[in-house]
């Protein structure tokens, strides 16, 4: 089945062409490169995995209860609009919210694949080219995984959100080689990583937990890659050049924050225009969404600080968004936790499979004895 048959809203075009500028850079320096970057490259090679084999796709998913979380996580829960809805309409809200969320994950992963391929092309250092090549493969695997989850388990897809599209457009069309790092590795990947983490930690369903945990294990390396490359480069930029990057970060963070409102999901349900506006007001006032938005910046803010973009103007922008306190988060601790959770999930699954095999062998032996 074509994915276009699953779109809730007709996609505007079968492909989206983004005009790109800048140079493809070759380097004739084949020395060993930076130890930290080469270690990350080695880890990127060692940690490759196959989504067909590592993920248990036999697990059933209820499309009307994808994550198994309480309705309190729905932004309109408890409002007069929610109370007026019947159970059929509430089921549709659950379905469309999950479909929209995972669709944006899917589109973001394709954007990450294209941005990492662009980094291979444009970054001047060979060690960075090496690592970005492994990331391109990672992102292809993530897009493959989310596409399968949406097609086979949810059965509904949303087009790319306009705010995500705008940030990808400005990221890819900039001729400066560091902008795909800044737009993708720091902003889009940083926000996605935090979103994955929140959902991974609250879902009670095994299939989305597997997908999110394994994807996050890769994404932690990607953010580390962006930090290494940009920290070295930005240390030598002029004040004017740093200000241009800060302007990009501020605009990008506002785009990412507004993307979370998801107006198109409410417009696609059987709601009047007044009810859509009522839903959007509830989204803006939701305490759960306020906490969720704040947590989504837990990876971005400390990363921006770490790479050297930390002027009073940028700090004020984060204060206005209510996320400045996220600067104290330890990225190393968060990424170490991501690694451990994925490894622990693997260990638990393999232990369960081993128990099942032992039980099957035991049953066979008992049956033979009875015969």
Residue 79 placed within a domain: yes
3-class DSSP state for residue 291? helix
User: CA 12 from chain center: how many Å?
Assistant: 23
Place of tokens 């090496």: 130
Domain count, the chain: 1
CA distances from 204 to 58, 212, 337, 370 (A): 17, 12, 19, 40
- Contact predicate 280/289, CB 8 Å: no
Residue 270 within any structural domain of the chain: yes
Q: Mind listing the pLDDT tens digit for each residue in 154-213? A: 999 999 988 888 888 888 888 888 988 898 888 888 888 888 999 999 999 999 999 999
| Any domain includes 162 | yes
3 in a structural domain: no
Phi-psi region at 60: left, alpha or beta (left = phi > 0; alpha = psi -120 to 50): beta
Angle, alpha carbons 204-43-174 (nearest 5°): 85
Does a structural domain hold residue 30? no
Q: What is the 3-state secondary structure (H, E, C) of 20-89?
A: CCCCCCCCCCCCCCCHHHHHHHHHHHHCCCCHHHHCCCCCCCCCCCCCCCCHHHCCCCCCHHHHHCCHHH
Q: What is the pTM of this model?
A: 0.87
Token match 């080689």: residue? Answer: 177
Is 24 inside a domain boundary?
no
Q: Domain of residue 251: give its range.
A: 35-370
Question: Residue 10 has what pLDDT?
Answer: 66
Per-residue pLDDT at 302: 92
pLDDT in tens, 213-228: 999 999 888 888 888 8
Residue 259 falls within a domain, yes or no?
yes
Is residue 249 within 8 A of residue 309, CB to CB? The reply is yes
Low-confidence ranges of the chain (pLDDT < 70): 1-2, 4, 9-14, 21, 30, 32-33, 356, 358, 361-362, 364-371
Any domain includes 363: yes
pLDDT at site 240? 95
Per-residue pLDDT at 370: 67
Kindly report the CATH number assigned to the domain that includes residue 307: 1.10.620.20
Task: Using alpha carbons only, give the angle 63, 64, 66 rounded to the nearest 5 degrees.
Answer: 60
Cβ atoms of 235 and 312 closer than 8 Å: no
Residue 306's nearest CA partner among 227, 362, 367 is 227
């Amino acid at each position: 089945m074509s994915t276009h048959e699953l779109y809730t809203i007709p996609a505007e075009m079968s492909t989206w062409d983004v005009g790109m500028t800048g140079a493809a850079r070759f380097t004739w320096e084949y020395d060993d490169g930076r130890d930290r970057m080469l270690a990350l490259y080695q880890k990127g090679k060692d940690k490759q995995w196959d989504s067909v084999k590592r993920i248990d796709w036999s697990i059933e998913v209820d499309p009307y209860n994808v994550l198994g979380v309480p309705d309190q996580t729905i932004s309109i829960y408890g409002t007069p609009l929610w109370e007026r809805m019947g159970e059929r309409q509430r089921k549709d809200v659950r379905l469309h919210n999950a479909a929209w969320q995972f669709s944006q994950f899917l589109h973001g992963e394709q954007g990450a694949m294209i941005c990492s391929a662009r980094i291979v092309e444009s970054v001047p250092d060979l060690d960075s080219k090496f690592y970005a090549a492994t990331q391109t493969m990672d992102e292809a695997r993530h897009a493959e995984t989310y596409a399968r989850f949406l097609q086979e388990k949810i059965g509904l897809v949303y087009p790319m959100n306009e705010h995500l599209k705008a940030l990808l457009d400005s990221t890819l069309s900039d001729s400066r080689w560091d902008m795909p790092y800044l737009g993708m590795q720091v902003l889009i990947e940083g926000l996605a990583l935090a979103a994955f983490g929140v959902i991974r930690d609250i879902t009670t369903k095994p299939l989305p937990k597997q997908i999110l945990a394994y994807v996050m294990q890769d994404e932690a390396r990607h953010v580390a890659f962006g930090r290494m490359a940009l920290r070295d480069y930005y240390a030598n930029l002029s004040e004017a050049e740093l200000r241009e990057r800060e302007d990009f970060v501020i605009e990008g963070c506002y785009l990412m924050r507004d993307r979370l409102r998801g107006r198109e999901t409410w417009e696609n349900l059987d709601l009047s225009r007044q009810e859509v506006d009522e839903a959007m007001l509830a989204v803006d006032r939701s305490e759960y969404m306020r906490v969720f938005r704040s947590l989504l910046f837990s990876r971005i803010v400390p990363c921006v600080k770490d790479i050297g973009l930390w002027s009073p103007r940028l700090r004020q922008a984060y204060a206005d968004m209510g996320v400045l306190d996220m600067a104290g988060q330890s990225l190393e601790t968060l990424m170490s936790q991501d690694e451990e959770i994925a490894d622990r999930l693997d260990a638990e699954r393999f232990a369960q499979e081993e128990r099942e095999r032992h039980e099957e062998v035991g049953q066979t032996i008992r049956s033979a004895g009875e015969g």
